[in-house]
Amino acid sequence: MNRAREGADKPHPGTLVQLRIVKTFYIETFGCQMNVHDSEKVIGTLVGQGYSQVETPEEAELVFYNTCSIRDKAEQKVFSRLQQFKKEHGKGKTFAVLGCVAQQEGEKIFEKAPHVSLVCGSASYNRLPEMLVQLETGNRRVTGLSLDTEDTFETPMTRRDNPHRAYITIIEGCDKSCAYCVVPFTRGPERSRTSASVIREAEELARSGYTEIQLLGQNVNSYRDPSPAAWDFAMLLDQVGRVPGIRRVRFTTSHPRDFGKEIIDVIDANPALCNHVHLPVQSGSSRMLASMGRLYTREEYMRRIAWMKAARRPIAITTDVIVGFPGETESDFEATLGLLDEVGYDSVFSFKYSRRPNTPALALDDQIPEEEKSRRLAILQEHQRQIQIRRNAEYLGCVEECMVEGFNKATGQWIGRTAQHKTLNFLRPASEPEGDSDLTGKYLDVRVTRAGPNSLAGEAVH
Ligand code: 5AD
Ligand code: SF4
């Protein structure tokens, strides 16, 4: 019997007992877009099994946390959530930990949080229906922790919340071994989907009204079509951009080593492909890059940047940086600041190095003290802020096409997103009354009239 039903009110003797067949679940997601999209597929799977989603953990019989372990802070979040709802266990709830912390910690989670009943990493999501049956038949400890799979997680049903932009996973796992990174341990080896199934999904999305697609993978550049068609990533990207009805295609994330010039060539040739590349550099010092096991030098990275700068369409470039990796000297750090200037990034995600279980960097000497990491991070972020102020000012007076993402009641502005992934907040022209028509999901041309470090503002043009 489902434990979740045990605590239900006892029926009055003699009354007709009606079995409650709809089981409720709540899911909270931490981490990257891969996780967000995994949750959409997990929700589709659960709904397909007859479960119904609720908005709060209090209302739910099954509580899922889809977790991230990329940095220590992300990992701590799930344990604090589990502590928070520990008391709920007595009320007959079932707790499940999915995702990267599940894979990394495995059965240790049952020790740390004995009220958890299911621990399942992303490489085992295909087995979720059968694991749910095990839970329902009273099994208190269900695990899905094998990484030994050649499958990708494809669901007949996916619950997407955004009606205009949809994610499609094209490759799962990661075959690189960056010294700081848990992902190869939490998501397993690389598995690519067939090009036919990706194109089919894009066509279905276009038919149901989606206009923007974001292709996802830990390393989309290593996409290799397992079918005889044998497309590479550039070919797949181009073909997704040719699906009728799809106006914008984005992709994330790229590894510089596998990033070929043909990707820039297809972006140049196909206007549906967004002119934005996220290319994580991590450090501007070749010495640090070698120690991180990144498989490229600063010069090789800059060659990719040169391809982008030589493109016919202006390409926005964003990156990820880690400060305070073991052994990082002041001069290594300055090399990173210099690289930010040289590239002139549109945006940078920057992080303090965080020691992660199982990773090769744990063995490195010369850990950088926490205060020093914080100091470098603050300097880097201020440095980049100044770069963004200059970069964004270049857009003043330009007209940019925006996809409308929503309306900000507080400012009275519509929130738009340019092809380059910049936020462009705008008003309708003064001559046009606001009316009550919803612009969300529409594409409008907007003239940029103001520029800040993190966003642009403007006015829609006729
Ligand atoms: N510490 C700090 N940042 C990390 N990242 C990955 N692993 C770590 C770590 N151990 C950052 C990298 C990566 C981004 C997703 O997270 O910059 O590109
Ligand atoms: Fe976090 Fe990395 Fe897992 Fe994404 S793949 S959820 S970023 S640990």
Residue 292 CA to residue 283 CA, distance in Å, equals 9
Per-residue model confidence as pLDDT tens for the chain (462 residues): 333 333 334 445 544 444 445 799 999 999 999 999 999 999 999 999 999 999 999 899 999 999 999 999 999 999 998 888 776 555 778 999 999 999 999 999 999 999 999 999 999 999 999 999 999 898 999 999 999 888 899 888 888 888 899 999 999 999 999 999 999 999 999 999 999 999 999 999 999 999 999 999 999 999 999 999 999 999 999 999 999 999 999 999 999 999 999 999 999 999 999 999 999 999 999 999 999 999 999 999 999 999 999 999 999 999 999 999 999 999 999 999 999 999 999 999 999 999 999 999 999 999 999 999 999 999 999 999 999 999 999 999 999 999 999 999 999 999 999 999 999 999 987 666 665 588 999 999 999 999 999 999 999 997
Give the pair of three-digit tokens for residue 27: 């899911």
Q: Is 293 in the pocket of ligand 1 (CB under 6 A)?
A: no
Give the 3-state secondary structure of residue 371: helix
Q: Is 34 in the pocket of ligand 2 (CB under 6 A)?
A: yes
* Per-residue pLDDT at 306: 98
- Give residue 140 CA to ligand 1 midpoint distance, Å: 34
Alpha carbon of 446 to those of 144, 174, 212, 378, 423: distances in Å?
49, 39, 19, 33, 11
Q: Is 186 in the pocket of ligand 1 (CB under 6 A)?
A: no
pTM attached to this predicted model: 0.92
* Atom of ligand 1 at shortest range from CA of 32: 15
DSSP string, 86-110: GGGGGGT-EEEEEHHHHHHHTTHHH
* Atom of ligand 2 at shortest range from CA of 70: 8
Q: Is 132 in the pocket of ligand 1 (CB under 6 A)?
A: no
- Give residue 156 CA to ligand 1 midpoint distance, Å: 32
Q: Which of 167, 183, 252 gets mutated to test ligand 2 (max ligand atoms within 8 A of its CB)?
A: 183
Q: Report CA torsion sign: 136, 137, 140, 144.
A: negative
Burial class (CB in 10 A: 0-12, 13-18, 19+), 411: exposed
Alpha carbon of 237 to those of 133, 233, 266, 403, 408: distances in Å?
38, 6, 8, 20, 33
What is the distance in angstroms between the CA of the first residue and the CA of the last residue of the chain? 62
* Per-residue pLDDT at 235: 98
Q: Is 168 in the pocket of ligand 2 (CB under 6 A)?
A: no
Determine the length of the chain: 462
Nearest-ligand number for the alpha carbon of 362:
1
DSSP code of residue 127 = G
* Atom of ligand 2 at shortest range from CA of 187: 5
* Per-residue pLDDT at 11: 46
- In this structure, the residue with its CA closest to atom 14 of ligand 1 is 320
Give the pair of three-digit tokens for residue 222: 């290593």
Q: Is 70 in the pocket of ligand 2 (CB under 6 A)?
A: yes
Cβ–Cβ contacts within 10 Å for residue 1, how many?
Answer: 8
Give the pair of three-digit tokens for residue 406: 């929503």
- In this structure, the residue with its CA closest to atom 8 of ligand 2 is 70
Q: Is 181 in the pocket of ligand 1 (CB under 6 A)?
A: yes
Q: Is 71 in the pocket of ligand 2 (CB under 6 A)?
A: no
Alpha carbon of 209 to those of 13, 358, 401: distances in Å?
52, 43, 19
- Give residue 128 CA to ligand 2 midpoint distance, Å: 19
Buried b / exposed e over 124-133, threshold 16 CB at 10 Å, is: bbebbeebbe
Residue 207 CA to residue 196 CA, distance in Å, equals 16
- In this structure, the residue with its CA closest to atom 13 of ligand 1 is 320
Contact 320, 348 (CB under 8 A): yes
Contact 222, 190 (CB under 8 A): yes
